[in-house]
């Protein structure tokens, strides 16, 4: 066991980026089919899944991961959501947001960070960008890339956790908000409604920010794909329910999906956890307060066992949303499902392909035929 641990640690420290790029399984590699360039100098990796029989009546789907993860978040299970969407005729684009996966920055800093990705030293400049930057720069760049590939101005956006939360900021602030035809928020609240775990999460968030000043937390965790220290389950429970997710999926999570969250984004999360409201990094804009301005058709997907984004917080967010076309789907034993779904279980659970994905696709299908301009302004 000691030899295995030593080998795992060696792999985690040396050649991290190269090992991921060379994975024979496309679903576990960084998203590098193409790159979307942002207005502030990032190149965002994108993986493109094309259906054998595309449905011309269906708009493309963008799948956006959350904080501290990359695009492989969506594809570490066997019967994953992208494959089910493709089977129903959707073109699917899985993205790596800035600071994750195959994404990189322009210029010399990009070259330096490419080298640092082979080490446990944190990359340079990740403390500069926030969720606001992802919403106002990354999202438009992704939309433009999809338009170039498909000719479609509008997309269906499915975001998990922060991948959905940043859409609240985009829909409230961007002049391109009408390009989101339909929005699926999986585990994505804009407020904290009396969560008993909020104080613990705030302490953990601050601890992570401190640790990241000296070391890459995403890369030092990658050897845990092979061996994990005792007590880690206390942290894992925030991500997933152990009895609802296959061990192979957990190994792939550590080996392929984890990234450095970005200190700037974590700083913004501090504000969220302190105030109970999703606000801009400078505190000047309350995104929860602006939910009434959002009129895009929206589906909320909520898990009864979700600790990071508890059920009441998601329900309160749903109630505040201004859209006349909104749906709240709750997944847990109380609703007759196999398990109480945790935060990542919504995508990773062994039961999600039968209990969750068909519901999401059915909701999208009913909004694709003869798509009308989004009411969002």
For 278-340, the DSSP string reads -B-TTS--BTTGGGGG--S-EEEEEETT-STT-HHHHHHHHHH---SSEEEEEESGGGT-SS-
Segment 258-282, tens digit of pLDDT: 999 989 999 999 999 988 999 999 9
Task: Give 205's strand partners.
Answer: none
Three-state DSSP class for 205? helix
Pull the structure tokens for residue 91.
């073109």
Three-state DSSP class for 36? strand
Pull the structure tokens for residue 112.
């330096």
Q: What are phi and psi of 367, to 5 degrees?
A: -120, 15
pLDDT bin (cut points 50, 70, 90) of residue 4 is very low
Q: C-alpha distances in angstroms, 30 versus 73, 206, 335?
A: 10, 28, 36
Rounded percentage of the chain residues whose pLDDT exceeds 70 = 93
pLDDT at 10 over 80: no
Alpha carbons 314 and 320: distance in angstroms, whole number: 10
Helices and strands of the chain, counted as H and E runs? 16, 9
Alpha carbons 46 and 168: distance in angstroms, whole number: 22
Alpha carbons 67 and 358: distance in angstroms, whole number: 25
Segment 105-160, tens digit of pLDDT: 999 998 998 888 888 999 988 889 999 999 999 999 999 999 999 999 999 999 99
| Torsion (CA) 210, 216, 217, 218 in degrees, nearest 10 | 150
Closest CA to 268 of 260, 255, 253, 280: 280
Average pLDDT over residues 61-67: 97
Global pTM? 0.93
| Chain mean position to CA 45 | 14
Alpha carbons 258 and 272: distance in angstroms, whole number: 22
Alpha carbons 49 and 141: distance in angstroms, whole number: 18
Segment 87-111, tens digit of pLDDT: 999 999 999 999 999 999 999 998 9
Segment 194-206, tens digit of pLDDT: 777 778 888 888 8
Range of lowest pLDDT (46-50, 126-130, 151-155, 246-250): 126-130
pLDDT at 335 over 60: yes
Q: C-alpha distances in angstroms, 82 versus 27, 47, 193, 293, 367?
A: 10, 11, 32, 30, 18
Q: C-alpha distances in angstroms, 202 versus 58, 101, 127, 317?
A: 41, 26, 18, 20
């Amino acid at each position: 066991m000691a030899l295995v641990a030593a080998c795992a640690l060696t792999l985690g420290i040396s050649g991290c980026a190269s090992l991921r790029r060379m994975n024979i399984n496309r679903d576990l590699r960084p998203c590098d089919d193409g790159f979307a360039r942002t207005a502030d100098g990032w190149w965002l990796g994108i993986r493109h899944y094309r259906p054998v029989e595309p449905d011309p009546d269906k708009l493309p789907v963008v799948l956006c991961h959350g904080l501290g993860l990359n695009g492989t978040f969506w594809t570490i299970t066997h019967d994953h959501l992208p494959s089910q969407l493709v089977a129903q005729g959707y073109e699917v684009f899985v993205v790596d947001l800035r600071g994750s996966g195959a994404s990189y920055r322009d210029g010399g800093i990009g070259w330096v960070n490419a080298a640092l990705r082979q080490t446990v030293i944190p990359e340079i400049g990740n403390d500069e960008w926030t969720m606001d930057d992802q919403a106002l720069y990354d999202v438009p760049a992704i939309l433009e890339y999809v338009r170039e590939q498909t000719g479609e101005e509008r997309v269906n956006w499915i975001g998990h956790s922060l991948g959905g939360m940043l859409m609240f900021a985009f829909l409230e602030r961007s002049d391109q908000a009408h390009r989101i035809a339909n929005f699926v928020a999986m585990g994505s609240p804009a407020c904290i409604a009396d969560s008993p775990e909020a104080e613990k999460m705030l302490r953990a968030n601050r601890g992570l920010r401190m640790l990241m000043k000296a070391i890459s937390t995403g890369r030092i965790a990658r050897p845990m794909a092979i061996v994990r220290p005792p007590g880690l389950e206390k942290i894992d429970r925030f991500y997933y329910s152990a009895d609802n997710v296959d061990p192979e999926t957990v190994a792939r999570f550590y080996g392929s999906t984890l990234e450095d969250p970005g200190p700037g984004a974590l700083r913004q999360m501090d504000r969220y956890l302190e105030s109970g409201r999703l606000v801009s990094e400078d505190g000047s804009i309350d995104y929860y307060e602006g939910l009434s301005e959002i009129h895009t058709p929206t589906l909320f997907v909520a898990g009864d066992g979700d600790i990071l984004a508890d059920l009441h917080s998601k329900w309160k967010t749903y109630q505040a949303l201004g859209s006349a076309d909104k749906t709240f789907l709750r997944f847990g034993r109380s609703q007759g499902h196999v398990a109480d779904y945790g935060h990542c279980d919504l995508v990773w659970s062994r039961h999600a392909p039968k209990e969750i994905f068909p519901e999401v696709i059915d909701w999208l299908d009913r909004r694709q035929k003869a798509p009308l301009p989004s009411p969002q302004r």
